[in-house]
Amino acid sequence: MGRYERTAKGGITMSQRVFFPVETWDSNWMVGMYLDDLRIGEKQGEEDVTWYFTSSYNVPPARLLGFTYPDYLRYCRSKGAMIRGKKGYTIPVWTNKSDCDEICKMVEKEWKKLCNEI
């Protein structure tokens, strides 16, 4: 069963989460997107799972929560995140996985709303 399935009314049901805490290189946590079924036209097997958590893939959580990216960083900082990065995209990271998962669950809720509106 794939991550997304069409309902009889044309909506999309989500069988699994898309946004998860992903461990960073220095044992902190960041928001990651699990997008195996979003590649159109390809049959995906378990070995083809793709995680996106770098560069502009940090922007969708901000936009799903209704923030600009700088406001999202401020919001994450208010929820216990440290802001990291001097080159490229600055990202929020958490020392506590459960704090990161709280943000992931909020983003996931908005993602499901968006998918049901498609």
Work out the pLDDT band at 13, boundaries 50, 70, 90: low
pLDDT for res 67: 96
What is the average per-residue pLDDT within 67-83?
Answer: 95
pLDDT for res 2: 45
CB atoms under 10 Å from CB of 117, counted, come to 8
**Which residues, 6 or more positions from 100, have their beta carbon under 8 angstroms from its beta carbon?**
21, 29, 30, 31, 81, 93, 94
The domain in which residue 27 lies consists of: 4-110
Asked if residue 116 is part of any domain, the answer here is no
Asked if residue 118 is part of any domain, the answer here is no
Asked if residue 117 is part of any domain, the answer here is no
Rounded Cα distance between 63 and 114, Å, is 11
Give the CA diameter of the chain: 47
Instruction: Tell me the pLDDT tens digit for each residue of 23-39.
Output: 888 889 888 877 654 44
Asked if residue 20 is part of any domain, the answer here is yes
If DSSP codes are grouped into helix, strand and coil, which group holds residue 55? helix
